[in-house]
Every structure is written in structure tokens, then in C-alpha cells.
Amino acid sequence: MKIFIALIAIIVVFYFLRKANKNTYKVIVNKISVNPEQQYVNPTQVNVLHLSDLHLENLSITPNELYRQVKHEKIDLIAITGDFLDRQRSIPKLIPYLDILNKIAPSHGIYAVFGNHDYFLRKKNFENLKQLLEEQGVRTFQNENESLLIHGHRLNLIGIDDFSSKRSNLVESYSSLKAGYNLVLTHDPNLVLKMQDYHFDYLLSGHFHGGQICYPKPYHLVKMGKLVRMKMIKGFHTHDGKPFYINEGLGQTGVNIRVRSNPEITIHSLTLGTKDVAEQQAI
């Protein structure tokens, strides 16, 4: 009888793990329009393809599948919010994904920040990762910013280093910044709780994987900061009136399974422009 019960338990566990692994192939493409209700003078729309948490050690989405999901979309800019990998031997696996991102050919470039797992690499290996990204046309940020002029409107890209590993420096990140639309790229969204004195129009992040294993709830995330206790682990949110987005990530960490969570590709539509004069007067 005990052997029979043990056999049933093994079968149940095997079924659960197989089903959970299949979930890692079921990528979802989410499209977010930021502040669509606002009126602007001479507006310009910018479509940002947002990827996060590739975790190449546990990634079920192939480069070709990534391309298939977005090849018909108009992409102006690609933003990657960290956690590419955490092992030196995984660095070459990144090349075919970078080839696909370049094939998408965003009109205003590819930008990235690093996550806590990227910093698991030894310093030399981390530098090799950064060099590969830069050689493949990816502009990386470590508490830096860069401005783009798009149809007469300034888009400030602000790349803030990983908050969870205490590498964030807001002063350096905002240094010499000119007036414009502030788009922040960072890995750990808990950073928004420290940005009361720093303006952003929109912030993109990842880190939580949407829980990855949410059964019955993602209790394991509790140690990952205050936002989790505020029930902000994925999707669109606001804090202090400022909007931000937490991507569920494309890959997985630990084990290659997902429960009540899916790999995510996000396309954010941002509107650049001066707020309508009539609306400003009404305010």
C-alpha cells in the first residue's frame, strides 16, 4: 500500500512539473497605452518593446519565437531591464537573441540596464557581457542617462542600476538632465519607493517574474521588498501619482517552471508632446 501511495505521489508531482514547464513556453504579449486620456500639442507616439529577466539558463522562448511574436509590430525603441544571465558559460547564448533584436531594427535603438543576477558574474565575465551587448548595438546604462530628440520632442532615457544589490545612484542617474519626457529603466521596481524627489513620466522594471510560482500565492516574494507587501508584483501601477510597469520576465530562475504566471513581452505606447494649453489652464 505504501509503495502504491508513493507511486501515485510521484505521478502527481511529475504531472505538475510537466504542466508547469509547459507554461514557460506560453508567452503573452501585452500592449500598454500610457496616459491615453491626456491631450497634447503636436503629439508623437513612441512604441517601446520591453523585455526583462531573460535568465538564459532557464529560457524556453527561442529567438525565432520572440521574432514571430513582434515582427509585425512597429517598434521604435527596445528596452531590456536586466537579469540576462548569471553564469559565464551562458554569455554566448545571448548572441542569437541580440541578432533578433537587431533584425527588428528599432528606429531609435536598443537600451539596457543590468539586474542582480548579472552581477553574480565575476568582474571580468561581467565586463565581457557588457562588451558583447555594446558590440551588438545595445546601449547599456549604469546610473547614466541619454536624451533622444524625436520629432522635436525630448525623450530622456534614464538607466538606474540595480536597487536590490545596492547599486542604484539617483544623483548620478539624473545628472545634467534636460527637460523632457523621463523614461526610467531599472531592474528592481522597489526603487520607485525612493524616488519621491525624482520625476519620471514612466518607469519600466522586472525582477519579480510575476511570482513565477503562484500557488496558492507567491509567498516566496515577501523577502523581495515592500512593493510585494503592497501587492504590486506585475503589470501597471502608480506610486505618488507616477506610473510604472513590472514585467513578468521572459525566462525563469531556479527551476524552469511557471505556475499561474507566463513569460511576457510588452509593448508600451508613450505619447511625447506638450500638454494641451487648455488642459493646463484647467488645472
Spatial separation of the C-alpha atoms in residues 210 and 246, rounded to whole Å? 8
pLDDT category of residue 281 using cuts at 50, 70 and 90: very low
> Residue 244: which of 30, 31, 34, 45 has the closest Cα?
34
Q: Supply the pTM of this predicted model.
A: 0.92
**pLDDT at position 8, please?**
54
Strands 144-150 and 153-159: antiparallel
**pLDDT at position 6, please?**
54
**pLDDT at position 12, please?**
47
Beta strands in 13-73 (DSSP E): 28-33, 40-51
* pLDDT above 90: percentage of residues in the chain: 82
Residue 48 cell numbers, joined: 517601446
pLDDT in tens, 24-35: 999 999 999 997
pLDDT category of residue 39 using cuts at 50, 70 and 90: confident
**pLDDT at position 218, please?**
82
Residue 83 cell numbers, joined: 537579469
pLDDT category of residue 40 using cuts at 50, 70 and 90: confident
Beta strands in the chain (DSSP E): 28-33, 40-51, 77-81, 110-113, 138-140, 144-150, 153-159, 181-185, 202-205, 235-239, 242-246, 264-275
